[in-house]
Amino acid sequence: MVVAMTERVSGLDDRFGGRHARPMAAAFLVNTVAPYLRADAPATVRKAMMSAASDLCYLTGYMAVDEGLHGLAQRYYTKALELAGASEDHLTYCTTLRGMSVQAVDLGHGREALRLADAAAAASPSAGPRMRAFLAGQQAHAAARTGDRGRALRLLREAESAMDRAESQERAFGSYDPAALKYHVSQVRYELGDLAGAIAAMEESDRVRYSTYRRARVRHRCTLAERQLAVGHLEAACATWHLALDDYPGLQSGRADERLRAMYRALRPYLRNPMARDLYERARTVAPAPG
């Protein structure tokens, strides 16, 4: 039941954002999962329950990050590591360390992000190709953030090679996929100053992303539009932002909200342009402009 609940909450999070789903997960952890963890049971059953609980703790932390509640997220992540370690759940242990690295790099802490990404990789020495791509992609992004160009590109090639092997074996829905890898390619290229390459990779990521990942689609399209504007392509940027606005209503995500605030800031110098003005006015009908 805990595993099934985690899968359901994860799906809701992808479609509607963390502010909708996290309170449900938090209440379930307190009212249902915690009593199970205190119950007597055979060792195999206790390990299985701790493993299931660790995955739900990780997901709840991930949703807290989406809300911008970073201290709360770190507490959930720490509990997820504790439970994953006690249950010998290497997958959740590595995934949580990687999640902490994602949080760190997004907050601008490159060295800490790289330390956590390397720890995640070290804790999973026999990872399969999809897991290896999942870990190496984040290592590459963190390395690029620290300015280590050579290591970032080497890790990115490793991630791409691992993904090629994984995709030739099976296509696993709901896990690290080509869209996620192309997002990492874009982030690495952006950190290393290759803005055109970053835009091309983000466009490819958007093209191959599964439709269920609404929040990622909004966030990453907004990021793509910001980068298109940075190279002077105002019309392309406006078109991309319009696509993001198609999905934005009904999404309760702090990270998506921040990208909309960034859009308003970016558009203000261009409001005499009819396309920019039209986008700005449309956005105000679905997301209030910041003061």
Q: Report how far apart the first and last C-alpha atoms of the chain are (Å, whole number).
A: 45
Please give the share of the chain, as a percent, with pLDDT higher than 90: 84
- Please state at what angle helix 178-191 crosses helix 214-230, rounded to 10 degrees: 30
The pLDDT tens digits for 46-83 are 999 999 999 999 999 999 999 999 999 999 999 999 99
Which residue carries 């590109």 as its tokens?
A: 153
Query: Mind listing the pLDDT tens digit for each residue in 86-132?
Result: 999 999 999 999 999 999 999 999 999 999 999 999 988 777 888 99
CA separation, residue 88 to residues 44, 47, 261 (Å): 11, 8, 42
Alpha-carbon distance 54 to 79, whole Å?
A: 7
Give tens-digit pLDDT for 248-258. 998 899 999 99
For 257-276, give the DSSP string.
Answer: HHHHHHHHHHHGGGTTSHHH
Q: What is the mean pLDDT of residues 197-213?
A: 93
Least confident of 9-23, 153-167, 170-184, 268-282: 170-184
pLDDT of residue 127: 77
- Would you say residue 173 has pLDDT above 70? no
Count of CB atoms situated within 10 Å of the CB of 223: 23
